[in-house]
Structures are given as C-alpha cells and as structure tokens.
Structure 1
Amino acid sequence: MAGRLVPGLLVLVAIGLAARLVAAVAGANYLIVAIVIGLVVGNAWGVPAWARRGVATHTLWLEVGIVVMGASVALDQVFAAGPRLLVLVVATVATTMLVVELLARFVFSIHEDIGSLLAAGSGICGVSAVVALAESISADETHIAYAAATVLLFDATTLFVYPLVGHALGLSDVVFGVWAGLTMFSTGPVSAAGFAFSETAGQWAVLVKLARNSLIGLAVVVYVVYYARRRGRATDGAPSTDEPRAGWRALWETFPKFIVGFVGVMVLANVGLFSDQQTAWLANASDWAFLFAFAGLGLDIHVDDLRTAGYRPVATVLTGLLLVATTMLLVVQALF
C-alpha cells in the first residue's frame, strides 16, 4: 500500500523543490509559488493515475504541518488575546452564516439547501463544512456540487488576493493573520495566505482558523435540528427514511481531530518539554509539510470545475464575503 503512495509523493517533493528554487531566484514566497506551479501542472497536464494516491496525501501533510506548528506558538500571547479571539470567532462565524443565509434566500433566491451549504462553507471551514453538512442533512448531489465549486472558487482567489490587500493596506502581521483566519474559508488557503504575508501572520491565521473549525460540529447539529423539524412539518409528522443525524455522535464525527494534536504540541512546547534546538527542528519540519501540502493544493485546483459554479451562488458568497471581511477588518484593527 505504501509503495502506491511513493510516485505521488515524489511529485509533491518535485514541485516543492522547484518552488523553493523559483522563489529564491524571483524573491517570492515559496509556498505561493508551490501552489502556482501545482495549479499550472494540474490544469495543463493533469495528475496521472499512478500519482493520484500520493498527491491525495496533501491534506494529511497540511494537518501534520499544523500539528507540528504548535511548537512555535507562544501560549502567553494566545492567553492574552483569548477572550477577544473567542468572541471574534463566534461572532464572525454566526454573522457570516446568517448573512449568507439571508442573501441566498431573500436576495438571490437560491434553493434553501444550497444556501445552507454555502453558509457553512463560508462561515466555518470551506468544502469540509459543505461535505459534513451535506451528509448530515442529506442534501442533493447537485446542490453539493454547486456549493463546493463556489467555495473552491473563492479558496483559489482569496489565497492570492488577501496578501495583496494586506500589503496594500499596510496591515500588521497580527491584524492580517487574525483577519485572514476569521474571514477566509478553507484551512489550506488560510495557511497559505498567512505564511505568504509573514511567519507571525501565518501562525495567527492558523490559530484563529482552527478555532473556527472547532465549531463545525455545533453548526451541523443546529442545522440537523432545523431541517429535521422543517421536513417533519412538511410531511405532517410522518417519519422520514431520510432523517438527518444529530447528537454527540455528529459532533465528534465532524470535529477536526488534528486540532487536538495542535493544542497538545503547543502546550508541551510552552511548558518547556522541547529544547530550543528541537523547537527549531519542529518549525523546519512544519515548513516542509506545508510546502508539500500547498503543492498538492495547487494540483487539486481545477479551473474547469470552478466554471460550474452558477452566478447566483458566486454572487451570494461574494456579497457576504465583502460585507463580513470589511466589517471584521475594521473590528480587528480596533482590537489589535
């Protein structure tokens, strides 16, 4: 089984090394270069069948990079910003989901299921939230495709646009990291945009994004209860064979388990378990894991798939993103 992964892993390594070389010559951020190279290769030639298994591990490399990155996060800074961050995360998630729901239903007249999937994807953790919610409320496959394609479109654009906006506005590392972590969608693009801005911004972006991700289980349960009651009323109380799942099981199944590893490593590092040399080694390992993850992220962005998103889902998410991102940027600048 492991042998089947090797060819694809070599592809990720090759793209990563090429990105390092190009970035050194061009003076660009090597993580963004890795995504660009992967995107060009994936769309020009595609990923051959013999490499797909290994390339698909890029999500695992992202999780490994995040877990190991915990050793570089200063816990005292997290505690200092803790109350503000917690309020910001909860407020941003709730506001984003509410705004997208309202826009979808009352402005752009999108099907209720698509609106909910877009709200989850925009508010919490991108395509992962779309899939988790879709399975829980038994959404139609076509609706899932529209929502996923829309979220992917914004993932592919915001990871380039956010650093440009941040530099143009002269944002500090902390402000940019918190802002990106609060308002961008999927974990991979958030990490890429954060570290493209600076090391400190990347750490804050990932930290805030993980806090958002942890709310996915709660959001799924809320939606499950809502749709269960709505469908129950629609069938005059008759039992449905397509009943959504709720409860603690849904919370645990949708919870991103790697967050536990990140918190564990962060705590161990801050109580002095790792030496300075070991911390530096872990930081370097995290950089390489992110490099391979972003190479795979680029390979996984398919331009043809992005074209399937209709204009109304795109308009809904774009309007919501502009409203929430602008508001939260002002709030974050005031607080940090």
Structure 2
Amino acid sequence: MMSARRLLPGIAVLCLGALLARGIADLAGPNHLLVAIALGFVLGNVVGVPDRLAPGIATHKLWLGAGIVLLGASLSLEAVLEVGGPVLAVVVGVTGLTLVLVEVLARNVFGLANRLSSLLAAGASICGVSAVVAVAGIVRAREGQIAYAAATVLLFDAITIVVYPIVGELLGLSGIVFGIWAGVSMFSTGPVVAVGFAHSDVAGQWATMTKLTRNALIGVVVLAYASYYARSGSSSASDGRSLGLLWAEFPKFVLGFLALAVLSSLGAFSPDQQASIENAYGWLFLLAFVGLGTEIRLATLRNTGSTPVVVVLVAFLVASALSLGVLTVLF
C-alpha cells in the first residue's frame, strides 16, 4: 500500500487545479470540467509532471469512480426504466456494430494483425484503454500492439472531448439525446462524463448511465475473445484465468452507482442530502479531470500509427452518425 505521504503532493496539485478551474469558469464562462482537463493537459505537456507528484495525480481514476458512485444518488430508476428498452437496444446495437466493423476493416481491408485488430475493436466498442488491457491479457498481445491500440484510443478521447460539445451546441441536441449519444459512441468513461456535464446536468447523468451500461458489456466481449482465440490455438488462457482477468478489469464502481440509484429511487435521501451529494461529486469530477488532462500526452499521440487511426476513424464515424440519427428519431 502506497503511503499517504507520497500521495499528498499530487493530490494537492489536483485540488489546486480544481479550484483554479472553478475560478476560471466563474470569471470567463467556459465549462469548469473542460477547463480542468485543459489545465491538466498544460501540466502534462508544457510544465511536466515531476516524479514526486505522479503517484498522487494518478489517483484521479479513484476520484472519477467515487464521483460516479455518488452520481447514482441523483438518478431516478423510474425515469430510466421509461426509456430503458430503446437505450439498451441502441447500446448493444452500436457496440456490436463498432466491434464487427473494426475487426472487418482491420483484418480484411487494411491487413492488420489479428491481435491488434481485436485490441482496436475492444477499445473502440466498449470502454477504451480498459478494454484494450482486458482483451490483451486474453489474446496474449505483444507490448507494441497494446501501445498502438491504447495510443489510438487516447487520440480519439482527446479529439472527442473538444468536438462533441461543439457538435452538440451546433445541432441544438437535447440533454437526453446528447448524453446517450456521447455514452454510446465515445470511447473512455472519463471523457464521456466530462462532455456530458459540459452540456448539461441531464446530459451528464444520461451519458454516465449509458456509458456504464456499455462498460458492463466488457464481460461478454472478453469471454467471446477468450473462446475464439482458445479455439484457434493462439491463447493459453484457461476459463479460470479469463474470469479472474474479467473481474480485475471490470469497473467495480458500477456496482456502487447502481446501489445508490436504488436507494435514491426508494427515497433514502432528502433534498438537502441530494444537494450535498451533487456538490461532492461535482468536486470529485473536477479532481479527476485535472488528472485526466495530464494523461493526454502529445508525444504519445504523435507516435500513433496512421493505419490503426484510419480503421477506428471509419468505424467511429459510421457508429456515431448512425447512433445520432436513431436517437434523434427516438427522442
């Protein structure tokens, strides 16, 4: 267990970044979550992250998970269930389409290696780098392949954080449509939550819920790849190892999110308590997004191979446009 003394300097930097982001947003008008990401980006690429700060800044994933758990207290399951069927259908359909499209393009059109194709497909269709890591352990991918797939995902995360809020404003998308669209088409959880709340609280809640539903499909995808590569003789992962890796990579904050959503729907929280919880997860997200910004490294993005980017771009444009069209009709 890492000592608190090693974590405190980096956590203090996250706190300062969060306060600065809130102050800049209050004075100049831009969304405070996007400002937090921008500050982290400047720290990571212009100033540089000293070694003594790195452990504490790396806790940003913990704060994101904690914020998502608390977000569950703001949701009503009744409202979710009213549109749950169509949303689930869109999530499953877009996820399956993206995965198959990336696999087909990567293997049959661009001639990429099977393992790299699978990493790109998992990262683009499920939950970004987490899915890349989970599938990499199953298919025994090489370090270089993991790096290419992860860098490709991070490139799209960096681009969509900027582009999605602009598109949402230009098209005048409602909170529900924008939130579900971001949750079903963007790659990683952090950027999805950021752009959702940058649009509105309603969009942020729907973006988070949709993305968590999509993340839960990691179990199906990992087990499917384990079965496929085991039959082809290119993986030595046993069923026990597959299940162990699945649990290790499963985003466990989903369970806390669901628990608080159930309690909220049962009336467990008073209005004052819900207001306090909303304030708490707002600050937790600010801490998380300052740290997230430090992970968007220009050097890594420049080293991304062009072919993986083209493969994922084609699949992303198809899935994004199709899902937005369907959601506009449904809602």
- Aligned counterparts of 2:203 and 2:128: Cα–Cα separation in 1: 20
- Please say if 1:188 is aligned against 2:190: yes
Structure 2 equivalent of residue 262 of structure 1 = 257
**Which letter maps to 1:78?**
V
Map 1:170-189 → 2, pairs under 5 A:
170-189=172-191
Displacement after TM superposition at 1:88 (Å): 1.2
Pairwise mapping of residues 125-274 of structure 1 onto structure 2 (< 5 A)? Answer: 125-231=127-233, 243-246=236-239, 248-274=243-269
Check conservation: 1:136, 1:245, Cα contact below 8 A: no
Please list the CA deviations of residues 226-259 of structure 1 after superposition, one character each: whole Å capped at 9, or x if unmatched.
Answer: 1111126xxxxxxxxx502435444433322110
How many residues are treated as equivalent by the alignment? 327
Match of 1:63 in 2: 65
Tell me the secondary structure at the aligned position of residue 37 of structure 1: helix
Q: Aligned AA for 2:172?
A: G
Question: 1:238 maps to what in 2?
Answer: none
Aligned equivalent of 2:273? 278
Match of 1:10 among 4, 9, 12: 12
Corresponding letter in the other structure for 2:70: V
Kindly state the Cα deviation for residue 180 of structure 1 after the two structures are TM-superposed: 0.4
Other-structure match for 1:46? 48
Q: What is the deviation of 1:82?
A: 1.2
Residue from 1, 12, 20 that aligns with 2:22: 20
Match of 1:239 in 2: none
* Equivalent AA in structure 2 for residue 27 of structure 1: G
Instruction: Report deviation, 1:300.
Output: 1.4
How far has the Cα of 1:319 moved from its partner?
A: 0.6
RMSD over aligned CA atoms reads: 1.1
Query: Residue 324 of structure 2 corresponds to which residue in structure 1?
Result: 329
Structure 1: runs of 5+ lacking an equivalent: 233-241
The two structures have a TM-score, normalised by structure 1, of: 0.95
Greater alpha carbon shift after TM alignment, 322-331 vs 108-117: 108-117
- Paired position in structure 2 for 1:307: 302
Matched, 1:33 2:27: no
SS at structure 2 position matched to 1:49: coil
Partner of 1:231, secondary structure, is: coil
Does structure 1 residue 100 correspond to structure 2 residue 102? yes
CA contact 2:64–2:288 (8 Å) conserved in 1: yes
Q: Give identity over the alignment, percent.
A: 51
Distance 1:245 1:328 in 2: 36
Residue type of the alignment partner of 2:237: P
Instruction: State the alpha-carbon separation in 2 of the partners of residues 250 and 43 from structure 1.
Output: 33
Task: State TM-score, norm by structure 2.
Answer: 0.97
Question: 1:52-91: CA deviations, max 9, x gaps?
Answer: 1110000000000000000111211111011111111111
| Structure 2: distance between partners of 1:147 and 1:72 | 35
Structure 2 contact 122–132 (Cα < 8 Å) conserved: yes
Segments of structure 2 that go 5 or more residues without pairing to the other structure are none
The separation in 2 between residues aligned to 1:283 and 1:202, in whole angstroms, is: 12
Give the aligned residue type for 1:170.
G
CA contact (8 A) 1:163 1:193 kept: yes
**1:111 pairs with one of 113, 123, 137:** 113
Aligned to 1:104, what secondary structure does the other structure show?
helix
Q: CA deviation at 1:7?
A: 0.2
**2-structure distance, mates of 1:111, 1:205:** 33
Q: Verify the 8 A CA contact 2:134 2:246 in the aligned structure 1.
A: no
Cα distance in structure 2, aligned partners of 1:228 and 1:324: 29
Name the CA distance, whole Å, in 1 between partners of 2:204 and 2:230. Answer: 39
Counterpart amino acid of residue 101 in structure 2: V
- Residue-by-residue CA offset, 1:202-244 (whole Å, 9 max, x unaligned): 1000000000001101100100111111126xxxxxxxxx502
Q: Is the 8 A contact 1:62 1:188 kept in 2?
A: yes
1:235 — aligned with what? Answer: none
